[in-house]
Structure 1
Amino acid sequence: MAENRRSLTNFFLCSCVFTLTLWNNIKPSVENDYIANYSRSLIEDHSDYETKSPPLSHTKRLQFISADNRIYHSTWNVVHNTSDSLELSNISENEINDLIQLLSKLNRTSSLQNLTLTNIAVAWGNFIKVLQIVWHTSIEYFNIYNIKLLSNIEKEYFDYHGTSLKALTAKNASVETFYFNQAYLYSIFSEMNIAALTISDSKLLHMLCPSKQSPFNFLNFSNNDMTDQVFQDCDTLVFLETLILQRNQLKNLYKVSLMTSKKKSLKDLDISRNLLYYDEHEPCHWVSTLTKLNLSSNKLTDSVFKCLPKNVKILDLQNNQIRTVPKHIIDLKALKNLNIAFNKLTELPGCGYFKGLEFLNIESNSVFSPSSDFFHSCQNITRLRGGNNPFECFCELRDFINFEEKSGGRLAGWPESYVCEYPDNLKGTQLKDFKLSELSCNITALLALVLVVTVVLVVLISVLCIYFDVMWYLKMMWQWTQTKRRVRNTHPEDPQNILQFHAFISYSEYDSVWVKNQLIPNLEKEDGSVQICLHERNFIPGKSIVENIINFIEKSHKSIFVLSPNFVQSDWCHYELYFAHHKLFSESSDSLILILLDPIPQYLIPARYHKLKSLMAKRTYLEWPKEKSKHGLFWANLRAAININLPVSAKVNGVQTD
């Protein structure tokens, strides 16, 4: 009874451990992919359990972890009939014979197709025995992780015939001995007649070319120490389609291209994370079938575009030292996917040599403003990844922003990854929020607008100048300035620089009869108390009329203008009014007296007489009365307006007055 209870207890404990392991290792993404993790270290003090077997009838994947360096034969009886996948871990050299015996029970009719050995330490000879046994079983995929080869490597016979194996994977393999013939190691793998071989993370220095035509379709030798000499002049890998040599010691891209030249089926080559460079003086010789090439994380520069396979469709050049795409490169008409992220490009490449390009990745470069050539030449782009660049938010960037607005989602990472870096006032602004008007960015439109505005302004100014006689005013201003300058240069005590007249009379010749018969006799008395300046008697011969006008207006206390329709038709009257008006403003004096001899309709006053219109609107003027009874009051008001005591030394026409 006690033994039966103990057996039941052991069976119950084992069932619990097995059930928990199954529950924790269910993978929903793979149909019926259960893992029965059978761990001896969890069962203590139950030695009679080794005669029992776990319930494996519905298990698709088994994992045995040996914690006490023992393999239990009683648990193996159901493996070859109940499981598709098996993983054995922690196998030492001491139990390798048990492993060999167990594997020997497998045959071509077993259901086991996937075998994985993890953390295994074995002698070279025993490893070959295990490999040979697996070679002639139902196993199709054999994976070996963390393997140590303990003894010296010697030449071993290996029978490659009649295998079900499709793929062999060895990761993190190491050889404990230092001196051995490497050909013995390489030849075992190079002669395998299987489709796929992976030996990675194992510090392999080389791999032999198969001695005869090989069925290898897939080779992966990543993270080793292979050099440019691997597979040179190798013409037996005629079925090889995928070759992965990333993270090795490859340096010369030219030699790598030679390596591919005889591999007539090669389509996919991964030589990323090496030390590759290219000397553009050496022409490359890629196999014509190569359509996918990964050159990322090397030391390649702009010259790499002169050494690329012509028929490549997917090209990865990210994380190199490329600054620009040269103007003259190999015409890559078949290229559809180009990854050139994490380089030093300052602008987007045009598609002049990539007519079929559909996807472009140019993230994390130094692109300030994408060139307009890109958008005109890359019409087939359906996806562009261009974020994390230091964009300059100026006019040149509008085409790039319009590309996203018109394409409707062709920019990957929009808008979060597209941010202004310059100018400082826009730093951190997303490109979607950066707006500039069409006019401010379209140079042609801006120049056209400026030209139109300039022409309109010139025409308008010309019309105004003609209408208001601006040129005449400019000429008069020049005369006024010159005269004032001469006056300033004259000695202040010069008799010619002081007031000599009570009034300067400006009138039209058609009104001279009234001036000479009425105005002069009534203002000038016989006692000489009032001095009037008249053109014909006071202007100095030899000087210009304009200079005489300016001088005598300056030397007169008042300027009297006899206004009539005849006055506004006289240019000389216009000159005199202009200069008198300047004196009015320059000296802040009340020196103008307007006499309206005859009414002047507004329509008769020319446009250039705008000062006269302004004066008549703002200043009081004396109207000449037609009634004789009012003449006396008129003359009295006029004499009162010009009454002033002139300096004793004043001269009139060169005659001293007292």
Structure 2
Amino acid sequence: MTAVCMGGCLCLYIVFILIQHGNGEACRKMKRAEHYSCEGRNLTSIPSSIPSSTEELYFSFNFLPSLHKPVFPWLYGLRVLDLTRCYIQYIADNAFHNVKNVTTLILTGNPISYIGPDSINSLHKLHRLVLVDTGLSSFNIPFNNLTKLQDLNIGTNNIKSVALPVFMTNFTDFCLLDLHANNISIIKVNHTTVLREMRGNITLKLSRNPILHIEPGAFQDILLRELNIQGAFVSLNALTDGLKALSGLDVIKLTIGSYIPAISLKGVDPYYLDGLCLIKFKEIYFLQKESSYYEFHVLHCMVNATKITLKKGYLRFIENVPFHHLKELYIGKNDLSEIPKLSHLHSLEKLVIINNSPALFRGFSDMPNLQYVDLSRNQFSIKGCCSYYFKDMPKIRFINLSLNANINTDLKPFSGLELLEVLDFHHTKLDIIGKYGVLQNLKYLTYLDLSYTRLTFSSPSSFHGLNSLKVLKISGNTFQGDILSYLFSNLTVLESLDMSNSGIDHIVWTTFKDLQRLQHLFLSRNKLMVLDFLTQPNLPSLTQLAVDQNNIASIQLNTLQNIPSNLSVLDLSFNPINCLCTQTDFILWIIKNQKLFPHPYNILCKSLSPSTTLRVTDFDTQSCINIRRLKIVLSICAAIVLVSASVLVYKFQFYLRYGCIVLRGHRTAKQGEYSYDAFIIYSSKDECWVMDELVDNLENGVPPIKLCLHVRDFEAGKAITSNIIDEGILGSRKIIVVVSKHFIESSWCRFEFEMAQSLLVMQGNANIIIIILEDVEEKNIKKVFGLHKYLKKNTYLKWSRNPLNNMRFWIRLRKAVIASK
């Protein structure tokens, strides 16, 4: 059987090599030093290029049907080896000889049919072994020498018994046995003998096993760190009997419940969890997804627990249980109609009751050790908050009442709660906070969230007394008059301030004059048009500023020059930036400082059309710079004219002629009247090709195309520049540009191309056809204004000496010229 298996593996291996040879992709070094990933790269062996000092190697989703010694190069430093889903079927005795220092071996999802007795056993330093979904049906794995093993995960297999091999009693460091999703249905006393003898700090996971029966006494005198039996019983009756059969178990944490909700528990004993009374545990995690018409008694057997978690269930009430040692209670997403009045729990330190919407809250009292309370997402309404609802709780430091319906406070809402450090009311309607200084006694408060509480801040004493406040969130509220200018005057240690979505249209510099430690300022989704508060040195510690989704069209140069030196994040996304040449300095600043913006692609130019978007970083600043330069030159020229007209004409004749021709050409443009089909812009040194090839093929073809050439069609006695405009550019439907090295070197060619671009853009027309006669270096192409950008955005034709390619060339060129004829 083994020989047949080896033969089949070998054939499969050879076929795969023949198919995949040369197709494997290189492994990559991960961010952490000496960690390499080769995942999903069609590899059939471990690359020899992997350094021998590599500590972690992730090789999942490749193809290694048979593991032998040559598969692995010498990797003396390797500690973690992940071979998930590599189609491994055969593991030879010496397979891991070259990686014998591995401490974690992951073989998940491999159809292993043979493991050599000295293969895994040779990994004497192995701490963690993962054999999930490998087809195992028992513990018949050769791992008796792995005395340092701590974690054995053999979940999602077909194992039918929890009976461990006797040799595991020597595994003194063993702490985790994961048998989830196997086929264990019966647990007998003799199945747990080894587990009982180990008596270690062990976690046993039996979740999602179809347990029918546990023999009484099977877990007697067994000590575990954690037992997970969530979804591990075929029915509720089996669960009821199974919990009773766990009598005598001593476990720190017990996890029970179900994964898939049953339709109903009709007819089930309300005391179906009574077996918990026979188990000694400190922490319990109960996920109840069953619904019922009855009131289940869930807590009465948890009286000695120190931590209870009841999650995602259908509990409608919590019975009154005199807990003795309870420190943490979590009740999440149940059907409670009322927050239980858990009073007199002197040991309770943390209480979380969330997502029981809607629920009634009557308050707590006499819990002297309670420090943390989270009652969010219950949609309750209360009046006279908050001292009345948290009586005799002198140590409370954290209160979260967010995402509830309505909370009315009195004038001294936090009397007796002076040690509060965190207070969260976000998305809960409040009343008088903001009108009076009702927070003054909270001198230890470091975190306050009043976001979207429908408050209107009108009192300068709203935050008086909060001398320790570091984080303040007040977004989604409103501010009366000029209250912002002195609202934060005493918050000298504040580090984070959020005032997003508050309708703010202006902020004066005095608003932040006392916030010397402020690091994060969020002003998103407001109506700000300027950021002049930055012109004053008030925010020396600021590292993050969010002003996205405001009305900022530009930022003045003096503001940019005074931006805090520590600022590393500036969010300007979705502001209507004015992309005009008058804003060139601001736009260039954005382009230059893109690392400053978390989303530079969302900084957009203001557009009159909602369907048109242009990123600021894509704005053509070069054109603006050229225009600015032209204006400067023209201004200088005008000044010099007054001094010396002759020098002006001689020194700046090109620019003057260029400007005059552009203006005159634009005014006299003929609308729809053309003498020629196309005007040819080319260097005289390329005239042979133009006459012999271009003119011959276009003018003598069918239908004939009438071309305008300066050597024959320009009007004698007329200025060359006027001929270029009148006869060439404005007198032709299309313009053909023949680009070559000679073209780049010709000042007249560059002039003609720039004129063609300028005048055609003014007319809203762009009928320019580019022919690349010969390859030109990109740096030379950039010498011609606009040519490089035009080539990147538009399709051009390229001349080739290949006859077949040239035939297509002439067809495409003719089609382009007569396209709108």
Q: TM-score, normalised by structure 2?
A: 0.44
CA separation of 1:401 and 1:19: change in aligned 2, threshold 3 A: farther
CA separation of 1:330 and 1:384: change in aligned 2, threshold 3 A: closer
Q: Deviations over 1:486-510 (max 9, x none)?
A: xxxxxxxxxxxxxxxxxxxxxxxxx
Q: Give how far 1:232 is off.
A: 2.6
Q: How many angstroms apart in 2 are the aligned matches of 1:278 and 1:398?
A: 39
Q: Deviations over 1:405-452 (max 9, x none)?
A: 5446111112x2122224779952222222335985999x99875553
Q: How many angstroms apart in 2 are the aligned matches of 1:216 and 1:273?
A: 25
Q: Secondary structure at the match of 2:354?
A: strand
CA separation of 1:362 and 1:43: change in aligned 2, threshold 3 A: same
Letter of the 2:584 counterpart: R
CA contact (8 A) 1:244 1:271 kept: yes
Q: How many angstroms apart in 1 are the aligned matches of 2:498 and 2:624?
A: 40
- Aligned pair 1:262/2:451, yes or no? no
**Paired position in structure 2 for 1:350:** 533
Q: How many angstroms apart in 1 are the aligned matches of 2:239 and 2:433?
A: 63
CA separation of 1:305 and 1:55: change in aligned 2, threshold 3 A: farther
Q: How many angstroms apart in 1 are the aligned matches of 2:429 and 2:252?
A: 44
Letter of the 1:115 counterpart: T
1:377 to 537, 562, 565: 562
Q: Which moved more, 1:41-50 or 1:333-342?
A: 41-50
Q: How many angstroms apart in 2 are the aligned matches of 1:47 and 1:192?
A: 36
Q: Secondary structure at the match of 2:521?
A: strand
1:38 to 196, 214, 231: 231
Letter of the 2:377 counterpart: D
Q: Which moved more, 1:11-20 or 1:382-391?
A: 11-20
**Paired position in structure 2 for 1:198:** 374
Q: Highest CA radius of gyration, 1 or 2?
A: 1
Letter of the 1:102 counterpart: C
Q: Give how far 1:316 is off.
A: 0.9
Letter of the 1:186 counterpart: G
CA contact (8 A) 1:355 1:378 kept: no
**Paired position in structure 2 for 1:103:** 302
Q: How many angstroms apart in 1 are the aligned matches of 2:572 and 2:338?
A: 54
Q: Give how far 1:325 is off.
A: 1.6
CA contact (8 A) 2:456 2:480 kept: yes
Q: Give how far 1:73 is off.
A: 3.6
CA separation of 1:174 and 1:79: change in aligned 2, threshold 3 A: farther
CA contact (8 A) 1:208 1:231 kept: no
Q: How many angstroms apart in 2 are the aligned matches of 1:463 and 1:233?
A: 84
- Aligned pair 1:433/2:433, yes or no? no
**Paired position in structure 2 for 1:321:** 503
Residues 364-443 of structure 1 correspond to what in structure 2 (within 5 A)?
364-380=549-565, 381-395=567-581, 397-407=583-593, 409-414=595-600, 416-422=601-607, 427-436=612-621, 440=625
Q: Secondary structure at the match of 2:229?
A: strand
Q: Give how far 1:383 is off.
A: 0.8
Letter of the 1:453 counterpart: C
CA separation of 1:151 and 1:400: change in aligned 2, threshold 3 A: closer
CA contact (8 A) 1:359 1:382 kept: yes
Q: Deviations over 1:248-300 (max 9, x none)?
A: 11245523x62321101001001112212223687753512112111122344
Q: Which moved more, 1:273-282 or 1:284-293?
A: 273-282
Q: Which runs of 5+ in 2 are unaligned?
A: 1-158, 163-181, 188-204, 211-224, 650-821
- Aligned pair 1:461/2:645, yes or no? yes
Q: How many angstroms apart in 2 are the aligned matches of 1:463 and 1:371?
A: 38
Q: Deviations over 1:12-46 (max 9, x none)?
A: 966499856389xxxxxxxx998532365647899
- Aligned pair 1:80/2:291, yes or no? no
CA contact (8 A) 1:241 1:265 kept: yes
CA contact (8 A) 2:206 2:230 kept: no
**Paired position in structure 2 for 1:21:** 208
- Aligned pair 1:229/2:425, yes or no? no
Q: How many angstroms apart in 1 are the aligned matches of 2:618 and 2:357?
A: 57
Q: Secondary structure at the match of 1:419?
A: coil
Q: How many angstroms apart in 1 are the aligned matches of 2:648 and 2:422?
A: 83
Q: How many angstroms apart in 2 are the aligned matches of 1:251 and 1:103?
A: 40
- Aligned pair 1:218/2:395, yes or no? no
**Paired position in structure 2 for 1:63:** 256
**Paired position in structure 2 for 1:170:** 353
Highest relative contact order (Cα 8 Å, sep 6+), 1 or 2?
1
CA separation of 1:287 and 1:20: change in aligned 2, threshold 3 A: closer
**Paired position in structure 2 for 1:554:** none
Letter of the 2:438 counterpart: M
CA separation of 1:79 and 1:419: change in aligned 2, threshold 3 A: farther
Residues 147-166 of structure 1 correspond to what in structure 2 (within 5 A)?
147=334, 158-161=343-346, 163=347, 165-166=348-349
Letter of the 1:340 counterpart: L
Q: How many angstroms apart in 2 are the aligned matches of 1:201 and 1:425?
A: 38
Q: Give how far 1:85 is off.
A: 3.9
Q: Deviations over 1:23-70 (max 9, x none)?
A: 9xxxxxxxx998532365647899976765599999966131495344
Q: How many angstroms apart in 2 are the aligned matches of 1:437 and 1:464?
A: 26
Which of the pair is proportionally richer in helix?
1
Letter of the 2:568 counterpart: T
**Paired position in structure 2 for 1:568:** none
Q: Give how far 1:324 is off.
A: 2.0
**Paired position in structure 2 for 1:334:** 517
Q: Secondary structure at the match of 1:224?
A: coil
Q: Give how far 1:361 is off.
A: 0.8
- Aligned pair 1:250/2:443, yes or no? no
CA separation of 1:392 and 1:411: change in aligned 2, threshold 3 A: same
Letter of the 1:454 counterpart: A
CA separation of 1:78 and 1:240: change in aligned 2, threshold 3 A: same
Q: Give how far 1:77 is off.
A: 4.0
Letter of the 2:386 counterpart: L
Q: Give how far 1:317 is off.
A: 1.2
Letter of the 1:194 counterpart: L
Letter of the 1:36 counterpart: I
Q: Secondary structure at the match of 1:420?
A: coil
CA separation of 1:359 and 1:166: change in aligned 2, threshold 3 A: same
CA separation of 1:56 and 1:212: change in aligned 2, threshold 3 A: closer
CA contact (8 A) 1:10 1:46 kept: no
Letter of the 2:455 counterpart: L
CA separation of 1:168 and 1:145: change in aligned 2, threshold 3 A: same
Q: Deviations over 1:181-222 (max 9, x none)?
A: x7xx2143x855311001122233333315557211111001
CA separation of 1:199 and 1:22: change in aligned 2, threshold 3 A: farther
Q: Secondary structure at the match of 2:281?
A: helix
Q: Deviations over 1:386-407 (max 9, x none)?
A: 1122211024543444444544
Q: How many angstroms apart in 1 are the aligned matches of 2:424 and 2:575?
A: 31
Q: Deviations over 1:145-185 (max 9, x none)?
A: 245567999x99x4343x1x331011134688x9xxx7xx2
Residues 209-608 of structure 1 correspond to what in structure 2 (within 5 A)?
209=387, 210-211=390-391, 214-227=394-407, 229=409, 232=412, 234-255=414-435, 258-279=437-458, 285-300=464-479, 303=482, 305-306=484-485, 307-308=487-488, 309-331=491-513, 332-351=515-534, 352=536, 353-380=538-565, 381-395=567-581, 397-407=583-593, 409-414=595-600, 416-422=601-607, 427-436=612-621, 440=625, 452-461=636-645
CA contact (8 A) 1:242 1:267 kept: yes
**Paired position in structure 1 for 2:150:** none
Q: Give how far 1:318 is off.
A: 1.3
**Paired position in structure 2 for 1:116:** 310
Q: Secondary structure at the match of 1:143?
A: strand
CA contact (8 A) 1:296 1:317 kept: yes
**Paired position in structure 1 for 2:42:** none
Q: Secondary structure at the match of 2:301?
A: helix
Q: How many angstroms apart in 2 are the aligned matches of 1:363 and 1:227?
A: 31
**Paired position in structure 1 for 2:713:** none
CA contact (8 A) 1:301 1:322 kept: no
CA contact (8 A) 1:15 1:54 kept: no
